[in-house]
Amino acid sequence: MARLGENRYGKSRVRLSRITRHSDRHEFDEWIVHIMLHGSFEASYTEADNSLVLPTDTMKNTVYYVARGSKAACIEAFALELGDYFLAHQPQVSKVEIGVQQKAWKHMATEGPPEPTTFRMSGAELETVQVERARGGAWNVISGIDGLIILKTSRSAFTGYIEDKLTTLKPAADRIFGTRATIAWEYNTAAPDYVEARRRILGALLKEFAAHNSMSVQHTLFDMGKAALDAAPEIARIRLCMPNLHHLLADLSPFGLDNPNHIFVPIDEPHGTIEATVER
């Protein structure tokens, strides 16, 4: 006999752009919102009874409704605000999960100060947040970055690993280290300054990556996580996923040319995947 197990439903990839107009400048945000609700929805699955189902189209409209009156200065604040709205207005909901991704629009700088109403995309990465709260409980907030593309051409090696009859990889004392990192951190305090914490965490991650004398992706990942914890006492742990996006030395010998670590073939499939959580 079948029974319904854990279930949830929601609306994904709700696109939202927002202009905040100040007297001397505008701020521009572009967000992608994801909503998931848990609650008393069993009858909609087992009895075709939709009487407690909030349409996902209404969820989409709720995003714009809440955004219109929102004073949130960051994606964390907006996610909490939106989640509180669903819990306050939908008594059948027992838990809400909200995810928000933010594109990296920044004021354009040309020859003088930044243009007050003109913007450019500063990078491919997305700022992220995932929040969840059960009714009557506290919010759990996990902020992060998705798709942080970084690369270094020195201070990167990989030697001393296991070599068996199937090993063809040659030890490298000077290799390209490139990654598209996904990073998420969890707070140990309620209502921190999310914007300031993000600034310090990202700064520490980038500074450590640039300066680190890497003996492996694992080695650099741990020290980047440690640097982030040192920079932001308000976070309890940080998780980093850092695929090793390889750049393979091109064989130019068929053309009668040498290749003194100069010409490479970039590949992203297959790639090594290294991930870990660094915590206090």
Instruction: Tell me which of 26, 34, 56, 271 is the catalytic residue.
Output: 56
Give kind and range of the element (H or E) at residue 58: helix 56-69
> Catalytic: 22?
no
Structure-block tokens of residue 232: 């932001």
Structure-block tokens of residue 19: 């202009």
CA nearest 198: which of 210, 182, 184, 188?
A: 184
Q: Could you check whether the bond before residue 270 is cis, i.e. omega within 30 degrees of 0?
A: yes
Cα 148 from Cα 204, distance rounded (Å):
14
CA nearest 264: which of 249, 274, 244, 251?
A: 249
Helix, strand, coil percent values for the chain (each to nearest 5): 25, 40, 35
Cα 195 from Cα 169, distance rounded (Å):
43
Cα 35 from Cα 38, distance rounded (Å):
10
> Catalytic: 56?
yes
Instruction: Tell me which of 11, 38, 60, 212 is the catalytic residue.
Output: 11
Q: How many Cβ atoms are within 10 Å of 67's Cβ, its own excluded? A: 19
Cα 72 from Cα 74, distance rounded (Å):
6
> Catalytic: 159?
no
Instruction: Tell me which of 38, 60, 212, 246 is the catalytic residue.
Output: 246
Q: Which residues contact 1 (CB under 8 A, 6 or more apart)?
A: none
Q: Which residues are catalytic?
A: 11, 56, 246
